[in-house]
Amino acid sequence: MEISDILKICDHTLLRVDCTAEEIRKLCDEAIRYSCASVCIPPCHVAGAKRYVGDRMKICTVIGFPNGYMTSAAKAFEASDAIGNGADEIDMVINLSMVKDGQWDAVKNDILAVREATKGYILKVIIECCLLTDEEKIRLCEIVAECGADFIKTSTGFSKWGATAADVELMRAHSPAEVKVKAAGGISSIDDAEAFISLGAERLGTSRIVKLAMQMEEEAENA
């Protein structure tokens, strides 16, 4: 697979708590240069990034991030505010406390609150696989589909570990075709990216692939 094809499905990501506006603009420049799917950035930077890129790049942001234990009303407001500031795509974190309590109706309603606030926009639901049993992951695949989300996503990248091949394979197997899979967290090589894509991931959350593309260009120029 050509690296250019991988880059087209990458959400070029910077979610570090101390990232600056200058770093966000640099991220946007890189994403535009390499034709990424979007930039994934903190909510506080959405408005500035949107002014900077206009229609040249999709803006993705995170909601209820990274822990997911905010109230549903707070998440819905956060999502609505982000869209008002120019976000094109929303990555929300589920309420893992509800999952562990087996409160499946509450889990569904939490997602639905954000889905209602994001009508007409892409919604990705982060289930944080590293904290779940396989049975919980499978149930969440069903719920995410029932809620009409566009993607189910493996990880925030801020917990125990990120995407694994086993999780991407399980999520693809238990999600209907209309729900896409996003792998995120720990994708550090072309081989990683290709492996996740081969297992059914249609979006990757990473900053490393762009860095690898830049490195490859530099090596080619110096050869």
Query: Catalytic site residues?
Result: 91, 153, 182
Q: At what angle do helices 72-84 and 104-117 cross, to 10 degrees?
A: 20
Q: Output phi, psi for 123, to 5 deg.
A: -120, 125
In angstroms, the CA 92 to CA 107 distance is 12
